[in-house]
Amino acid sequence: MKLSSKAIPLNIENIDTDQLIPAQFLKLTTKKGYGKNLFYNWRYIEDYEPNLKFELNNPLRKGAQVIIGGNNFGCGSSREHAAWAISDYGISVVITSQFADIHKGNLYNNNVLPIEVKSEELTILMTYFLENPEAIIDIDLENQTIKVEGFEFNSTFEIAPFKKKCLMEGVDEIQYLINMKEEIAEFELNNY
Amino acid sequence: MKTLFDKIWDKHVVKSIAEDVDVVFIDQHFIHEVTSPQAFNGLREKGVKVFRPERTLATADHNVPTINQHLPIKDQESFHQVESLTKNCKEFGVELFGIGHENQGIVHVIGPDLGKTQPGMTIVCGDSHTSTHGAFGAIAFGIGTSQVEQVLASQCLVLNKPQTMKIEVNGVLNVGVTAKDVVLYIISKLGTEGGTGFFVEYVGNVFADMSMEERMTVCNMSIEMGARGGMVGIDEKTINYVQSRVDLSEKKIEEWKALNTDKGAEYNKVVTFNAANIYPMVTVGTAPDTGIKIGEKVDESTFITEKAKKYMGFDGADNINQQEIDYVFIGSCTNGRIEDLRSAAEIIKGHKKADKVEAWVVPGSMKVRQEAIEEGLDKVFIDAGFEFREPGCSACLAMNDDKIPAGAICVSTSNRNFEGRQGEGAKTLLASPITAAASALTGRVTDPTKYLQN
């Protein structure tokens, strides 16, 4: 996966899953249709009238596929609806200094790449993208690199080899487990 | 020498597939109506059955109304979601305790109460407060819906092994300090990300002295410090609790006792607190780590932010003890059990709530509600002007009609005070059941201690 995109900087720490998708939108039984309610309480004034002070609504950032969020992104509930909302909105990468565990897993399972950078790096990226709404960030999963076009930012990120393989080869964890059924049945026989 | 966590984890590894990535067998799976429909859809699309239906138990809790549960749910989307659960459980052969069933209730209240939650188990649910079940010396944690589908399809998960953290609290607790205050205090020291990447074991006489229900309150909120889960070692209380619900063999009990952390076993991180420093707590911000002593000023919270103060309408110099309130909510998977209701009723007995306060008591399950009625607690609440409702998650996350209006302040025994958590624009102060009860009586945030000394 290689991506060159604008980015949406959200300079807020502890963005919780209730902000990503409030509870009143968890009533669907599908995985689609959550994008328009991503950040509902911050993004709209009322009746879906955009709050222009919220960076997601900045017209210069239209088409951005990257969110740069404050530390402890996605804390709170396990609702995968938060990851579905991010993905449905058109986001492919979220960058922060630390994700909440469950949300990070949910992003992976929806082919959204969660990238953790050092907090100094996050500050640099946040500041730059707040000041330059049309700047472009380049993300390369294979080489695990992040660059910013026309700016001296050049960094690498860590990713667990298994997760990388899943994303690169489109391996689905569930299919992997279904294929293991015989081994699982044998484990049960020996242990229960 | 191994920790309780490591012993249980190692026993459940079906296969290691990479460094620190294991396929882990899940003993008990709980599901509810909000995070399971897409998982069942996934199974249908793949043409896969539920691999071990007897290891999954379903209940409807998040969407259910807490008034007139015998009538159809008015909200069409909620109605449809609960109906989907019923249909899915029937089609895939999963046991369901739906609305009106005598075993229905909040998933983290009924699991332990039915004896489904047992020591040494791996337990998951599409709900972050699954950490509650760790009180039994089990590895219990919340998962996303993709993982719910994985467990349904294979009874396993692909997991990164977390690190271990010991949180030790010793000493004598002050009067008026409950399990809720202990965990709010710990979170106020560690922050909402202090436990990220870790699985916690709570150690020390404070937890050993707690009842099983109190331990559940503590473990429940482990996720609020970012931890995957939290657990307490297995002792006579654990065994007695389970034994009074299901038949157990001596062999099983011996196996459980052997699971406890070996003397000298090492954790990746250790933090220690002194019980004497803990007082009745209340949160003042929009994250669970903003707890302060009742009587302190808002700015004494380590983690309070300017954004949170603005949302809450608090000045940093405000003393929270004087804060007027509008609502009180007693319930949720954190504090909706019978001991919580008893302790709140004890404070309220013979008093009336403040006129301007609206107060709701929502039992965690049908069984808790029935027990409360048998003990006459319902009358105590009703006589004091409280509403005594039917069971569900209710105003903890306001998915049903139990919403706190915009701008209103609610003292709540639930677990999260995020912006809008209890309704758009609602302001939540997290506290213990006795603090909530005392606050309902005065109409202000109130230290429950004086009511206990009477």
Mean pLDDT of B69-91: 96
The residue of chain B nearest to residue A74, with distances taken between CA atoms, is: B226
The residue of chain B nearest to residue A165, with distances taken between CA atoms, is: B18
From B257, B242, B50, B226, select the one nearest B133 (Cα to Cα). B242
Has residue B178 got a pLDDT over 60? yes
Confidence at residue A170, expressed as pLDDT on a 0 to 100 scale: 86
Has residue B438 got a pLDDT over 80? yes
Q: C-alpha distances in angstroms, B224 versus B99, B148, B418? A: 29, 21, 11
What pLDDT band is residue B454 in, cutting at 50, 70 and 90?
low
**CA-based nearest distance A40→chain B, Å:** 10
Check: CB of residue B93 under 8 Å from CB of residue B53.
yes
- Best of B108, B128, B393 to substitute, by most chain A Cβ atoms within 10 angstroms, is B128
Encoded tokens for B441: 């009586």
Nearest to A29 among B80, B418, B421 (CB): B80
Residue B327's SS3 state is: strand
Mean pLDDT of B202-207: 98
What pLDDT band is residue A172 in, cutting at 50, 70 and 90?
confident
Mean pLDDT of B371-396: 98
What pLDDT band is residue A20 in, cutting at 50, 70 and 90?
very high
**CA-based nearest distance A135→chain B, Å:** 27
- Best of B44, B418, B419, B424 to substitute, by most chain A Cβ atoms within 10 angstroms, is B418
Nearest to A102 among B15, B51, B142 (CB): B142
Mean pLDDT of A12-21: 97
Nearest to A184 among B14, B37, B48 (CB): B14
Contact A76 B416 (CB under 8 A): yes
Encoded tokens for B174: 């002050």
Encoded tokens for B322: 């004087």
Residue ranges of the alpha helices (H) in B15-75? 37-46
Encoded tokens for B272: 């220690």
Q: C-alpha distances in angstroms, B324 versus A18, B283, B304, B312, B425? A: 26, 14, 20, 12, 17
> pLDDT averaged over chain B?
97
- The one-letter code for the residue type at A53 is K
Q: C-alpha distances in angstroms, B241 versus B2, B73, B147? A: 25, 35, 30
Write the pLDDT tens digit of every residue in A78-98. 999 999 999 999 999 999 999
Write the pLDDT tens digit of every residue in B314-341. 999 989 998 999 999 999 999 999 999 9
Per mean pLDDT, which range of A58-67, A168-177, B188-197, B347-356 is the poorest?
A168-177
Contact B226 A100 (CB under 8 A): yes
DSSP A97: S
Tell me how many degrees the CA angle B180-B394-B320 measures, rounded to the nearest 5.
45
The number of angstroms, rounded, from the C-alpha of A18 to the middle of its chain's C-alpha atoms is 15
- The residue behind tokens 């739906």 is B98
Measure the CA–CA gap between A56 and A62, rounded to whole angstroms. Answer: 8
What pLDDT band is residue A171 in, cutting at 50, 70 and 90?
confident
How many CB atoms sit inside 10 A of residue B37's CB? 24
- Domains along chain B with CATH numbers: 19-160 (3.30.499.10), 163-277 (3.40.1060.10), 283-453 (3.30.499.10)
Contact residues on chain A for B287, CB-CB shorter than 8 A: 14, 16, 75
Residue B165's SS3 state is: strand
Write the pLDDT tens digit of every residue in B397-410. 999 999 999 999 99
Count Cβ neighbours within 10 Å for each residue of B354-382 and write b for 16 or more, e otherwise.
Answer: beebbbbbbbbbbbbbebbeeeebbebbe
Contact residues on chain A for B196, CB-CB shorter than 8 A: 72, 98-101
**CA-based nearest distance A52→chain B, Å:** 18
- The one-letter code for the residue type at B327 is Y
**CA-based nearest distance B185→chain A, Å:** 18
The residue of chain A nearest to residue B47, with distances taken between CA atoms, is: A178
DSSP A126-167: HHHHHH-TT--EEEETTTTEEEETTSS-EEE----HHHHHHH
The pairing of strands A137-140 and A113-116 is unpaired
Residue B411's SS3 state is: strand
From A161, A162, A128, select the one nearest A147 (Cα to Cα). A128
Contact residues on chain B for A178, CB-CB shorter than 8 A: 46, 48, 153-154
A-B CB pairs within 8 A amount to 165
How many CB atoms sit inside 10 A of residue B255's CB? 14
Check: CB of residue B183 under 8 Å from CB of residue B335.
no
Q: C-alpha distances in angstroms, A172 versus A23, A105, A113, A177, B146? A: 28, 13, 15, 9, 10
DSSP B69-80: TTSPPSSHHHHH
Measure the CA–CA gap between B277 and B263, rounded to whole angstroms. Answer: 27
The residue of chain A nearest to residue B41, with distances taken between CA atoms, is: A30
Residue B17's SS3 state is: strand
Confidence at residue A46, expressed as pLDDT on a 0 to 100 scale: 84
Has residue B272 got a pLDDT over 90? yes
Query: Which residues are CB-neighbours of A86 under 8 A, at least 6 positions away?
Result: A20, A38, A67, A94, A107, A110, A112
DSSP B54: G
From B59, B32, B34, select the one nearest B114 (Cα to Cα). B59
Encoded tokens for B237: 């209380």
Measure the CA–CA gap between A137 and A172, rounded to whole angstroms. Answer: 28
Mean pLDDT of B16-26: 93
Where exactly does CATH 3.20.19.10 map onto chain A? 2-159
CATH 1.10.260.40 fits A2-159, yes or no: no
Has residue B20 got a pLDDT over 90? no
- The residue behind tokens 């909105």 is A89
Mean pLDDT of B164-188: 98
- The one-letter code for the residue type at A71 is N
Has residue B117 got a pLDDT over 80? yes
The pairing of strands B56-59 and B291-293 is unpaired
Contact A77 B127 (CB under 8 A): yes
Write the pLDDT tens digit of every residue in B240-252. 999 999 999 999 9
Q: C-alpha distances in angstroms, B208 versus B251, B254, B384? A: 23, 19, 34
Check: CB of residue A7 under 8 Å from CB of residue A91.
no
